[in-house]
Amino acid sequence: MAKEALTFDAVREMGLALADVIEASSYGSPALKIHGNVLVCVPVNKSAEPNSAAFSIDMDLRSTLLKSKPGIYYITDHYAPYPWVLVRLSRIDRKELRDLLAMAWSFTSAQKPVRASKAKSGKRRR
């Protein structure tokens, strides 16, 4: 049986099930945020491959993911200095995506909240 090719719609569906996650945008691109901080978004930089998502993640964990599954996880020079990992959504399965969202949620929710004036409102869930 062929593996289901995931899209950002699957990321959105799973992400909105997590506590305090809202649907928003980042640089005009679809995103999910926690307290104003981006959890995951569709990358806007041209260096990212089509059908990718950028997840906010601890740099040590990013290094582990890049080494363990370079077919799924990657980084470009643009994203390298920041705590982000790019994910080829067509190559990740639902279980691993759910696990990655949980790790990204833990990392992002621990960040200092963005001031209300900077945070864009979105559709609240949970």
Nearest CA among 4, 40, 5 for reference residue 22: 40
pLDDT at position 119: 46
Q: CA gyration radius for the chain?
A: 14
Query: Tens digit of pLDDT for each residue in 10-29?
Result: 999 999 999 999 999 999 99
Domains of the chain: 8-111 (3.90.1150.30)
pLDDT at position 5: 86
CB contact burial 1-39 (16+ within 10 A = b; e otherwise)? eeeeebebebbbebbbebeebbebebeeebbbbbbbbbb
Nearest CA among 51, 55, 19, 58 for reference residue 38: 55
pTM above 0.85, yes or no: yes
- Chain mean pLDDT for the chain: 91
Query: Tens digit of pLDDT for each residue in 67-126?
Result: 999 999 999 999 999 999 999 999 999 999 999 999 999 999 998 887 754 444 444 444
